[in-house]
């Protein structure tokens, strides 16, 4: 099982993924710290998917006229369901009962 990323990991993931798609000067209106806090509970793949959905080809063509803002990522994240602690705990308990889970945890 892969643990969910902590705040620092999420911030690094978000910064690196956005900087891969945009130049540093185009990120003035993006609050990386707030995005990292808001993505608590989301899997790494969900965070990357939200970034990819926000910074698509059409949106990249508009960056010169309309800078990308933090709010645009929030819209994408709102459409996704985070992994709740109860769900994760239930899955972990189930996984521990499987043969591979028994070998993994013991």
Q: What average pLDDT does this structure show over 77-88?
A: 80
- Looking at the 3D structure of the chain, how many domains does it have? 1
pLDDT computed for residue 90 by the predictor: 77
The domain in which residue 86 lies consists of 7-105
Q: What is the pLDDT of residue 106?
A: 61
Distance CA 36, CA 51 (A): 12
Render pLDDT for 13-59 as a digit per residue (tens, 0 to 9): 999 999 999 887 688 899 999 999 999 989 999 999 999 999 999 99
The verdict on residue 85 lying in a domain is yes
Q: 80 phi and psi, to 5 degrees?
A: -105, 155
Integer angstrom CA distances of residue 45 from 13, 14, 17, 56, 101 = 10, 11, 12, 16, 23
Q: What is the pTM of this model?
A: 0.77
Higher pLDDT, 43 or 91: 43
- Predicted local distance difference test score (pLDDT) of residue 96: 78
Helix, strand, or coil (residue 102): helix
For residue 18, give the CATH number of its domain.
1.10.8.60
Beta carbons within 10 angstroms of residue 41's beta carbon: 14
């Amino acid at each position: 099982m892969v643990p969910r990323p902590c705040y620092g990991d999420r911030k690094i993931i978000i910064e690196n993924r956005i900087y891969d798609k945009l130049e540093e000067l185009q990120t003035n209106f993006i609050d990386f710290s707030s995005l990292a806090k808001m993505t608590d509970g989301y899997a790494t793949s969900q965070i990357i998917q939200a970034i990819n959905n926000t910074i698509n080809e059409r949106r990249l063509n508009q960056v010169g006229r309309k800078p990308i803002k933090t709010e645009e990522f929030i819209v994408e994240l709102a459409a996704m369901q985070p992994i709740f602690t109860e769900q994760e705990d239930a899955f972990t308990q189930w996984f521990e009962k499987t043969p591979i889970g028994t070998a993994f945890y013991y």
